[in-house]
Amino acid sequence: MIQAPYISVAVSLPVMKSYTYEVPDHLQDFCSPGMRVLVPFGNRRVTGYIISGQESCKGFKTKKILDVLDDHPLFPESEILFFKWISDYYIHPLGDMIKAALPTGLDQHDVSCVFVTQKGQDQLNAGKLTPGEEQVAQFILQRKSCTLKQVLKNSKNSVINALVRKMEKGDLINISAVLKKDGAKVKKEKFILQGDGSITDIAMSKKRKKLLLLVKEAKEISLTGLKVHIPTAPALIKPLVKAGYIKIIERQVFRDPLGDPVEPDTPPKLTKEQRKAVKRVQENLAKGFTPYLLSGVTGSGKTEVYMRLVSDAVENGKSAIVLVPEISLISQTERRFRARFGEKIAVIHSSLTKGELIDQWRKI
């Protein structure tokens, strides 16, 4: 954690330099290089990335960061030099470049949203608005949330900018900055655990007895999993929680792009050719990078060789990246690796949703 009173922040905007911000006392113990922070920038709030700490700030006034958005760094401090090198080499803003290196959906920034005021609503109902004002008010009211950009873009009025400012000045509409989160939220799920309380005063129906037995046997079970066995579980657990016999905790879970569970497999006995290939690569694995070309027709056992080498690398504290030539092969390849390595694997491809992509990236 950074203990310095100031931090250098690269904002995710097209600006070349980083900016110095003051860290409020209540956030002093939560800042580390690689974390996102919400900062004021002009009259907006934007996402920035902590680059380093600063002990002093001379010659100019600083603004305070508004919030720390992460519990852990999104990237190690060692990668900051690499990001800076790319930024300098391509003459591209550092914050914008870091944003491009991370999954989409992590950014937060202010968006100008437009609302019809009570006065505007009253004058609309009374028919006192001009045709142009009425069109703008109706457009805003037809939407659950409406941005200033949408109003300006969808109007055919040639003087829409002036009209909107006039309506704002006349208190017919209000334009406010609303913090927008670009992507999917962290997925959380409720889990049921055994408690220490007594249940002597609780009426024990058959379903409650079954619920308690399931929790006791599993030690911990998700509410979703519990509902598979007992659809009315949410209503049944309330008095049990109140009595302290069971307790509920909420925990982050990862979205599973594969969906169906995969049975663990047992590594088969290698053929003579497979053993030869595995041994050859293993001999050079500890020495560093050495390229190999594994030749074989479809179904000849190349994937098993890859899995044995990946297993060997993981056992030696290394990691492995497996590239698949086309997205249609992802499913069968993932199933084979999931059967062998379980939840140790993460899968990245273009068909993932924003939420799935962020979850897989966090696993890595």
Looking at the structure, tell me whether residues 164 and 238 fall in a common domain. no
How many structural domains comprise the chain? Answer: 4
**Lowest-confidence pick of 186-200, 204-218, 240-254, 309-323:** 186-200
Q: 14-18, 128-132, 176-180, 295-299: which has the minimum mean pLDDT?
A: 176-180
Q: Which of 122, 153, 181 is the last residue of a domain?
A: 181
Amino acid at 210: K
Has residue 288 been placed in a domain? yes
Give pLDDT tens digits for 212-263.
888 888 888 888 888 888 888 888 888 888 877 788 888 877 777 766 677 8
DSSP 150: H
| Average pLDDT across the chain, whole number | 87
Average pLDDT score over residue span 324-340? 89
Residue 263 lies in a domain: no
Residue 80, CA distances (Å) to 70, 260, 315 in order: 17, 38, 29
Question: Do 47 and 123 reside in the same domain of the chain?
Answer: no
Contact residues for 221 (Cβ-Cβ < 8 A; gap 6+): 191, 192, 214, 215
Take residue 40 and report the two structure tokens written for it. Answer: 């004021």
Q: CA 301, CA 263: separation in Å to the nearest integer?
A: 20
Distance CA 236, CA 82 (A): 54
CATH code at 318?
3.40.50.300
CATH (domain of 45): 3.40.1440.60
45/134 same-domain check: no
pLDDT of 15 reads 92
Same domain as 91, residue 113: no
pLDDT in tens, 27-49: 988 999 999 999 999 888 999 99
Is residue 169 one of the residues assigned to a domain?
A: yes
Judge whether 93 lies within some domain: yes
**Is 278 within the bounds of a domain?**
yes
| Domain final position from 88, 106, 124 | 106
Average pLDDT over every residue of 156-163 = 83
Expressed as residue numbers, the domain containing 95 is 6-106
